[in-house]
Amino acid sequence: MSTSLNILAEADYVVVGSGSAGSALAYRLSENGKHSVIVLEFGGTDMGPFIQMPAALSYPMNMKRYDWGFVSEPEPHLGGRRLATPRGKVIGGSSSINGMVYVRGHARDFDHWEESGAKGWGFADVLPFYKRMEHWHEGGHGGDPKWRGKDGPLHVSRGPRVNPLFHAFVEAGTQAGFEATADYNGEKQEGFGPMEQTVWRGRRWSTANAYLRPALKRSNVRLIHAFANRIAIENGRATGVEVTKGRNAHLVKANREVIIAASSINSPKLLMLSGIGPAAHLAEHGIEVVADRPGVGGNLQDHLEVYIQQACTQPITLYKHWNLFGKGFSGARWLLTKTGLGASNQFESAAFLRSQAGVEYPDIQYHFLPIAVRYDGKAAAEGHGFQAHVGPMRSPSRGSISLRSSDPMEPPKIVFNYMSTEEDWIDFRRCVRLTREIFAQKAFDAYRGKEIQPGDAAQSDEAIDDFIREEAESAYHPCGTCRMGDAEDRNAVVDPECRVIGVDGLRVADSSIFPRITNGNLNAPSIMVGEKASDHILGKTLPRDEAEPWINPRWKTSDR
């Protein structure tokens, strides 16, 4: 690797990416004042109402200014559709453009990580980091204070749940025989209850607000806006990051370590451009092999979901605000007071369920919304309605990220390979039918109109499969492409301390290291990875917390 580039800057630690994990790393690595940190971020400022106003969440993920604009290759099992894969190109990364939903993941997810080779990442190991990062606001909704953190940088709150439909959803779930839970991030994930959001005082509480801004007030932290081309590696050791700033290439030198936190899409791309990845694939692109790691870019996972939409017979949904005047009024109120509809992401009720008897912990997630609308902000033409986003949590399908060329500016090739197994289809049909069962409960009698989507005609397996093929959308939870595992595992990319296997002075710490996708939205576990990786880098550790999660005593015999 060329070292003749002029040195733009140098620090003990260079972090690539200012997103969920990267901002947490910058904050923790600089905390004791002993080490200098440079954060590299290509995207620009997050200032402005589209990002900071929680209800505006459908805008930034559809704006070139804030989003890398990735799309998948044609998906073979979804009729050749190309699915949008938004990733944040802005300070705070994807935490600045996401839906702000806060889910830790189930305790068993992390126990599975440990069983699959990520030693020291069981639930007892990660729970202390969740507590350290959180500033939890119960807001009088009940919950699990002893399971939660009270003085971390990340504010976690709950929406006001003013709309009666939020309560109807939870009540319908219990009428169908399912559990209720006062805090799915506490002891008991399983059941219907309030949803949590990274919103504080009416603003999006991204990692830029929680971690990066406080870190940048310290004299030992610097943010440099530049495009990372590749990692500079000399004699098997990472020495810095080659970047493009303006029109020129430079070196940002790392005196101790380089930490890649560039997302599950960009982190494997950066490793491959640097000669770390499947040797044959690198050779195809004329890239000199530094470390032959066949697992780089593999193991790609995501959550797929469908929106089940129901017309509402009472004019109480958010549709009444879904016009120029309503949006203008909500926006003005938010700008002036940080209150009102603009101050919530509107995901205020949720559920985590088990699909069938014999499943030990939840494998289905629900987001409930009191409007029938799509992520791109297009409301259902029918008018008043409500919807549930539903999908399985642990799909067996696996995809990959690969290089199109050796040009760092080219986006990578993304193949999710969604719905590639029969199990995927069985699980999804079950999700559709289960949602219909919930919407048919007495709690919705006063509100239930006709089914908008998929519609009453779609009853057979074939009709439901057609609906899934045409309408399933990504929940935007890609992960797993630099899998963490035992250092002897040929397909692992990083060891349990997040060190890239086969290269010194280089780590990866973001959602790409997840061995398997966790339950729910991925912002919280991605931040946790940044928190825990920083302790590995600094040679620190937190004592384990042996709190036992609630597991349904009927799990072997019933789905509820």
Domain assignment of residue 439, yes or no: yes
- Is 406 inside any structural domain? no
What's the mean pLDDT when you consider all of the chain? 96
DSSP symbol at 48: S
Distance (Å, whole) CA 336 – CA 444:
35
Dmax (CA) for the chain in angstroms is 72
Interval 263-285: pLDDT, tens: 999 999 999 999 999 999 999 99
Residue 393 counted as an annotated binding residue: no
d(CA 368, CA 348): 7
Kindly tell me if the per-residue pLDDT of 379 is higher than 80.
no
Give the residue-averaged pLDDT of 241-245: 98
Q: H or E stretch including 123?
A: helix 123-133
Tell me the mean pLDDT in the region 184-190.
98
90 is in an annotated binding site: yes
By annotation, the residues acting in catalysis are 477
Question: Does position 2 have pLDDT exceeding 60, yes or no?
Answer: no
Q: Cα–Cα distances in Å, from 240 out to 25, 256, 263, 278?
A: 17, 9, 19, 22
Percent of the chain with pLDDT over 70: 98
And the tokens for 436? 């219909």
**Structural domains counted in the chain:** 1
Q: Is residue 293 part of a domain?
A: no
Instruction: Tell whether 464 is covered by a domain.
Output: yes
| Whole-number pLDDT of residue 382 | 79
Q: Tokens standing for 522? A: 């991925």
The string of DSSP letters for 152-196 reads SSEEEEE----SHHHHHHHHHHHHTT--B-S-TTTT--SEEEE-E
- CA nearest to 262, candidates 101, 93, 411: 93
Q: Answer yes or no: is pLDDT of 372 > 70.
A: yes
In a domain, 340, yes or no: yes
Question: Is residue 542 assigned to a domain?
Answer: no
The predicted model gives 34-62 an average pLDDT of 94
Please state the rounded mean pLDDT for residues 143-163: 95
**Above 60 in pLDDT, residue 1?**
no
Mean pLDDT of the 123-140 span: 93
Yes or no: say if 516 and 301 are a contact pair by the CB < 8 Å rule: yes
For 367-427, the three-class secondary structure string (H helix, E strand, C coil) is EEECCCECCCCCECCCCCEEEEEEEECCCCCCEEEECCCCCCCCCCEEECCCCCCHHHHHH
Q: What is the pLDDT of residues 254-266, one digit of tens each?
A: 999 999 999 999 9
pLDDT band at residue 380, thresholds of 50, 70 and 90?
confident
Q: How high is the pLDDT of residue 27?
A: 98
Q: Does residue 108 register a pLDDT over 80?
A: yes
Is the pLDDT confidence value at 140 over 80? no
Q: What's the whole-number mean pLDDT along residues 9-35? A: 98
Cα separation, 349 vs 194, in Å, equals 4
Tens digit of pLDDT for each residue in 349-370?
999 999 999 999 999 999 999 9
Structural domain contains residue 337: yes
Token pair for 293: 């790691």
Residue with tokens 């923790």: 28
**Per the annotation, does 98 bind a ligand?**
yes
What does the pLDDT read at residue 185? 98
Please report the pLDDT score of residue 373 as a whole number: 86
**CATH number, domain containing residue 382:** 3.30.410.40
**Residue 343 is part of which domain span?**
160-194+304-392+420-471
Residue 544 has pLDDT above 60, yes or no: yes
pLDDT in tens, 58-102: 899 889 999 999 999 999 999 999 999 999 999 999 999 999 999
**Is residue 397 within 8 Å of 420, Cβ to Cβ?**
yes
* Average confidence (pLDDT) over 208-230: 98
Cross-strand partners of 44:
90
Whether the per-residue pLDDT at 3 is higher than 60: the answer is no
Segment 287-312, tens digit of pLDDT: 999 999 999 999 999 999 999 999 99
CB-based contacts of 228: which residues, under 8 Å, 6+ apart?
A: 16, 40, 42, 241, 242, 243, 262, 270, 408
Strand partners, 240: 232, 253
pLDDT higher than threshold 70 for residue 110: yes
Is residue 451 assigned to a domain? yes
**CA-to-CA separations, 325 to 98, 118, 260, 320, 330, in angstroms, rounded:** 25, 52, 44, 10, 9
Closest by Cα among 59, 66, 146, 135 to 102: 135
pLDDT at 411 over 50: yes
What pLDDT shows up at residue 141?
66
- 291-292 and 276-277: which strand pairing? parallel
Q: Are 513 and 498 in contact (CB under 8 A)?
A: yes
Q: Say whether 99 counts as a known binding-site residue.
A: yes
Burial per residue of 135-161, b for 16 or more beta-carbon CB atoms within 10 angstroms, e otherwise: bbbbeebebbeebbbeebbbbbbbbeb
The yes-or-no verdict on residue 4 having pLDDT over 70 is: yes
Distance separating alpha carbons of residues 70 and 262, to the nearest angstrom:
14
The helix, strand and coil proportions of the chain, stated in percent and rounded to the nearest 5, come to 30, 25, 45
For residue range 415-462, what is the model confidence (pLDDT) as tens digits?
999 999 999 999 999 999 999 999 999 999 999 999 999 999 999 999
358 and 112 Cβ atoms separated by less than 8 Å: no
Q: What is the mean pLDDT of residues 478-493?
A: 98
pLDDT over 80 (residue 374): no
Three-state SS for 450?
A: strand
Q: pLDDT grade, residue 143 (50/70/90)?
A: confident
